[in-house]
Amino acid sequence: MQLSKEVASDLRKAVIDAITPLVVGGVTIPVKDSFLNPNVTPANYVGGQAYVLITDQTDTEVIGNRCSPRMTANLTIDIVTKFPIGSSGKLASENIASSIRPMVTKQVLVMPSDWLIIDIKSFSQSIIEQGSTQVAYRKLLRYSFDIWQVA
């Protein structure tokens, strides 16, 4: 049985809706799909800038003997914090990640009625990018969703 519908936009919307508004330590962190518009100001969070992007999405149809089509959909939540050189570290991005993780669960995500999330797996990665005047501490939360299309 072939998939009759694309899952990507529904999944992104469910994740964004689940984690927005993202308030960490009394500060609202902007959450955006794919990129931060230059007209959007990052949050001032613990002396630096912070924002969250939903990026790097892939979808793969799972072949099997099940009655309804299934997808494995992968999605990355990119937490970006930027500080002047020597003024902070990874803790800010890790604190934001700790606020996001409990919201990306089968119990919290709301998908349209024709999709059912069967399982969610995750792993994370930290990246440090040094510039001439500031350092970006990024925390990537990578999720793999096993999704069933309800017939």
Query: Peptide bond preceding 21: is omega within 30 degrees of 0, i.e. cis?
Result: yes
Question: What pLDDT was estimated at residue 58?
Answer: 87
Q: Taking the model in full, what pTM does it have?
A: 0.92
pLDDT of residue 4: 62
With DSSP H G I counted as helix, E B as strand and the rest as coil, what are the percentages for the chain, rounded to 5? 15, 50, 35
3-state secondary structure (DSSP) of residue 102: helix
Opening angle at CA 111, ends 110 and 116, nearest 5: 115
Q: What is the pLDDT of residue 142?
A: 98
CA distance 90 to 125: 11
Task: Given CATH 3.40.1350.10, say whether it is the number of domain 8-149.
Answer: no
Picking from 12, 17, 41, 47, the residue whose alpha carbon sits closest to that of residue 29 is 41
User: What is the pLDDT at residue 76?
Assistant: 97
Q: Looking at this protein, which amino acid is placed at residue 1?
A: M
pLDDT digits (tens, 9 = 90+) for 122-146: 999 999 999 999 999 999 999 999 9
**Domain ranges across the chain:** 8-149
Q: What angle do CA 14, 116, 79 make, to 5 degrees?
A: 30
- Residue ranges for the chain with pLDDT beneath 50: none
